[in-house]
Amino acid sequence: MADIAKSPFWPTKSPVRRSMDSHSSVFNRLSLRKSTPMESLPRQLHKNWKISDFELGRKLGKGKFGKVYCVREIATGFVCALKVMDKCELLNYKVEKQFVREIEIQANVRHVNCLRLYGWFHDQKNVYLILEYAAEGELYKVLKSKRRFDDVTASYYTFQVASALSYLHKKHIVHRDLKPENILLHFNNQIKLSDFGWSVYAPGHSKRTTMCGTLDYLPPEMVEAKTHDEKVDVWALGILLYEFLVGRPPFEEQNSSTTYKRIAKVDLRIPSFVSPDAADLIRKLLKYEPEKRFKLSEIGKHPWILKNRLHWPTTFMSLENT
């Protein structure tokens, strides 16, 4: 139980697509912008937290093992998200080791486009995970409300995700569950890559064998039960880009067996309304051979990105500087 008491939420499998309450309606935006930065509280992060240290706001969502709330740390006024996980559920699903691995990975992630893990604590019944608060909620909900994104918006999101993945890969971390549901939005359309439940630390040229993630985002090497490395995230970025522009994943079918076959064949059908430059980037990312997939470091130099970045918000951070 000692290990579980130090661990965050770990999903045993990728969650189904779901609706969640909007983060933006929980607390007043002005108070959020004026809240005390968590970076100024390093010593307090190691104290004995308790639930009474937080003022609970609206419930943001519900996962397999618990719920997520927007909270305010009473002493400082700092606004964050609090995941509340039931210990019994974690034990019943026998996910203690994965649970520990997730916190070890996310606790060491420091990137503007990755959701921060600030700390954790526990009591007799629950484990509590203190996370960065993303004011605009799930990107998935935004995408479904708009049906699809224009090139400027899609390129801006794609570039930020590529920046986050490039950072993770330099630290030998493979995310393995990239999809709109696992991307949150903050102010100024800043994305926050979240949910490191399937993430793994893979130093050197080590290969993994676990088949994980969401069906529509699985690469051919997973579908064919081959070993895989960080290039599964590059494939997933291609799927994500396609979904941004089209409104659905490229290999989506009514039954999973057909989806598996289309993925294995890379049976890619890009609608004519997708711009030629965007289609070119999608094809470069969705290569059957992992080693032939477009390098994340080259994303910022692709013509589609270069053309659209002229219209991005002035607040964006370049891939090279993150």
Sequence ranges of the binding site for ATP: 64, 83, 132-134, 181-182, 195
Could you tell me the CA-to-CA distances from 166 to 35, 175, 320 in Å, in that order?
30, 11, 10
State whether residue 317 is helix, strand or coil: coil
Distance CA 166, CA 172 (A): 10
Sequence ranges of the binding site: 64, 83, 132-134, 181-182, 195
Distance CA 70, CA 28 (A): 11
CA torsion angle 312 313 316 318 (round to 10)? 30
Among this protein's residues, is 229 annotated catalytic? no
Distance CA 69, CA 62 (A): 9
**Angle formed at CA 169 by CA 168 and CA 174, multiple of 5 degrees:** 80
| Cα–chain center distance at 65 | 18
Which residue among the candidates 53, 151, 177, 233 is catalytic per the annotation? Answer: 177
Q: Which positions are catalytic?
A: 177
